[in-house]
Chains A and B, each alone.
Chain A
Amino acid sequence: MRGLAWVCIIALGAAAPAAASTFDRLLPAKSQIVFVSRQMGVPVEGGFKRFSGEIALDPARPEAARATLEVDLASIDVGAREAYDEVVSRNWFDVRQYPSARFVATSIRPLSGERYEVRGQLTLKGRTREIVVPVSLRAQGTEAVMEGSFTLKRLDYGIGTGPWGDTSIVADEVQVRFRLTAGRSAPAPGGRSAARP
Chain B
Amino acid sequence: MPAATAIGYTRSAIALHWAVALLILAALPMGLYMTELTLSPLKLKLYAYHKWLGVTVFLLALPRLLWRLSHPPPPLPASVPAWQRRAAHALHWALYALMLALPLSGWLMSSAKGFQTVYLGLLPIPDLLPKDEALGERLAAVHATLAYVLLAALLVHVAAALKHHFVDRDEVLTRMLPWIRRPAP
Residue of B nearest to A45 (CB): B114
Residues of chain B within 8 A of A39, CB atoms compared: 44, 48, 115
Task: Tell me the bound Cα distance from A41 to B40 in angstroms.
Answer: 16
Give the complex CA separation of A164 and B128 in angstroms. 30
B125 to chain A minimum Cβ distance, whole angstroms, is 10
> If the complex has contacts A39-B44, A169-B44, A170-B44, are A44 and B39 also in contact, measured as CB distance less than 8 A?
no
Give how many B residues have a beta carbon under 8 Å from the other chain's beta carbons. 16
B86 within 8 A of A: no
Interface pair A41/B121, CB less than 8 Å apart: yes
Assembled-state Cα–Cα distance A43/B117 (Å): 9
Is there contact, CB below 8 Å, between A41 and B48? yes
Instruction: State which residues 72-95 of B face A: CB under 8 Å.
Output: none
* A interface SS class: mixed
Residues on A with beta carbons closer than 8 Å to the beta carbon of B116: 42-43
Query: Cβ of A80: which chain B residues have Cβ within 8 Å of it?
Result: 113-115
Asked if A163 is an interface residue, CB under 8 A from chain B, the answer is: yes
29 contacts between A and B (CB under 8 A): A39-B44, A39-B115, A40-B44, A40-B48, A40-B118, A40-B121, A41-B48, A41-B118, A41-B121, A41-B122, A42-B48, A42-B117, A42-B121, A43-B116, A44-B115, A79-B114, A80-B113, A80-B114, A80-B115, A83-B39, A86-B39, A163-B40, A163-B41, A164-B41, A166-B41, A169-B41, A169-B44, A170-B41, A170-B44
